Structure 1
Amino acid sequence: MSDDALGNMLAQMENAEPYADVDAGVFERLKHPERTLKVSLPVERDDGTVEIFEGFRCQFDSARGPFKGGIRYHPTVSMDEVTALAGWMTWKTALVDLPYGGAKGGVACNPKELSDCETEKLTRRYTEGVRRMIGPDMDVPAPDMNTGAREMAWMMDTYSMYGGRVIPDVVTGKPIEVGGTAGRVEATGRGVTITTRRMFEYLGEDLDGATVAVQGFGNVGSVTARLLSSMGANVVAVSDVSGGVHDADGLDVMAIERHVSETGSIAGYTDADGYDDADAITNGDLLRLDVDALIPAAIENVITEDVAEDLRASVVVEAANGPTTFAADGILRERDIPVVPDILANAGGVIVSYLEWVQNSQQYSWDLEQVNDDLETKLARAFDEMLDAYTARDTPDLRTAAYVVALERVGKAHEMRGLFP
């Protein structure tokens, strides 16, 4: 089976099929996206030249509600990648029981090579390119890799200009000033923290003093590291694309965040004045550390077969989408290393996006405590339902159990709605 993202997603589905009560014909439908779109995006650069970028949007399944999924800016964005991510989003929203389907979009670009002005032009051009297939009751985009509240504000404004009125619920992850919600920025990292704590409770282990390594120190990884540290966990290693730092006695996560804020990356942290005495470490070595919890929070396919053979963590919590290849998953299963799957572990973002969407439709804002309480309630229920499926269906691992819950919910929706025409 291919180790690309789409191959991984389809293999995970097929692995769960024998345990799920889904009609064979419906299951075949679930493997195919409803529609995909590729758009050409001409953008005038600051020097006056025009560059053509490629943008994509995949709408995977809408049986349970409007499509939902982020927009990412990265050089590797492709149709196959967004299709896989849209599929994962479908199973994620079903697992945490949100009235959504799954979608994903992106633009193949290097955001580090774009000025703020060029990024705004690209975002508005992409919004115009996909605007006929998005909308508050049709498809609701959100931030993803290298996009954030700023880009969502531009998307909302562009869509609203075409609509002739303010339409805040066309996207989520917006700034609070234009309809965003408290807690959205930290939502995915908070969700990873909640599922990590729940997993330790399930295993009968104490999170206080547990050693943790986090690969990826962007929004998700940094928030996760900070929150776990505040709960007493001992974060001993973190990394980003520039490399990582390791200290067996524990890192000062807040100091690393300050360094990254000042310099743009973890690089140079070990030599900076005023910071703790940490050693440099590669991303590959971080994945092989002897820790209680490994949290991959960067990109897809970082835990390969070779890494899985050497991995020494007691548990893996997938903060990134698709960080473990299908072959590596089998090795971890054989080695009895439990994995909290991505479709649960990083679902905090889409849960709070849903809460933002609901607030926009009601034109009423909730406070941070209410948002965080609802996030924890929904994640805790989904975690328990995954464990119930793991026990009742005798599935080989937690990922398969999570897929069973999700596939049955989406499959049931298709069966109830029937086939048109």
Structure 2
Amino acid sequence: MSRNQSSISISGTILITSLVINTLIIRSAYLNPTYYWWLIISMPLLGIIIFNIIQKKHAILRNYPLLGYLRYIFESIRPEIRQYFFESDADGKPFNRRQRSIVYQRAKNVKQTVAFGMQTDPTQVGYEWMVHSIYPVHIKNKSPRVLVGNKQCRQPYNASILNIGAMSFGALSKTAIESLNAGAQLGGFAHNTGEGGISPYHLIGGDLIWQIGTGYFGCRNHVGNFDADLFRKNASNPKVKMIELKLSQGAKPGHGGILPAAKNTPEIASIRNVPVNTTIVSPPAHTAFSDAKGLIYFLETLRQLSRGKPVGFKICIGSKQEFIDICQQMKLTGIVPDFITIDGAEGGTGAAPLEFTDHVGMPLMEALSFVSTTLTKMGLKKHIRLIAAGKIITGFDILKVISLGADICYSARG
């Protein structure tokens, strides 16, 4: 007997059994009307069995019209079962329970100390630690800042060491954006807009880093190319402190984005300057330039149009030679960006293909080390601030990336 015949046999047996049971209930109801109540249960079950035997979408439900649902029920609660019963505090991806707990505790300003000593295994491969000093330094400045802007910048920005990473309105709700921006104002740090443009919810009071992606949202013309006049208008907003040109992001480097028509509401369309209720595709590459020299000149264009505000680019390192080419063009043209954002391959996104999420791009620590070393060798490091992004949660994470050459950090999911 073939597998297909076996499946038909199982489904047929279940159907016949159900029909026999319902027939017996109906016959019994003639003798005792109380049996009609059983039909309230048996008849819907018969309908479910018939429907699942006919449908061709789910093989499991077609073969096991009733018991098959158990499989989907158990599958739906699998993450919760693993998290609450089997997963240790140090397990879990992309963040373990200890990391999540510290975020919740600090957000609520509740007890966050750890009792009974170290909970990690210092003998495991990959264990990291900091080297302390027996002569602690007394820091008077409780809120250290980093000046972003070299000699070519006319409006340098005094940035916080930790800032809110890129998350667009559209990916997040207006309430979330308002909360993040109000938090930025309260904490004295900057809020990266993400590539979705500047919405009214970004203008609560916090400083902004305006990110521009390949879709040029908020500074594009009707065919999707860069619009200098519209850029100048938005860049002149006093809340916009820095301009970040996104070349690639860690979670999906080299991959464009899609704004489905269903999510492209009149409000979002107005903010992004796109036709309403249409699917908008952000291409993988920019249309304003196609090589390292073009990138450098475009950054200078953004600097001039924004009246000298700090400009830089965001990149997930792929080919090392491509980054070296960019640095060489800085030397040849004399045009040096004010900052470079390094996004590690461990970065997050709303949606990305599995191949990109798990296997494309250089992890943050390796990328930071490479970029910092390259800039130093070429004599550019002293002119450019490095911003690190990628699973930064605790103070240890901040110190780790600073030790590798970063000046400033982003935290988005955290």
More helix by share: 1
Q: TM-score, normalised by structure 2?
A: 0.29
Which of the two has greater strand per residue?
1
TM-score between both structures, scaled by the size of structure 1:
0.28
Give the structure with higher Rg (CA).
Answer: 2
Larger RCO (alpha carbons 8 Å, 6+ apart): 1
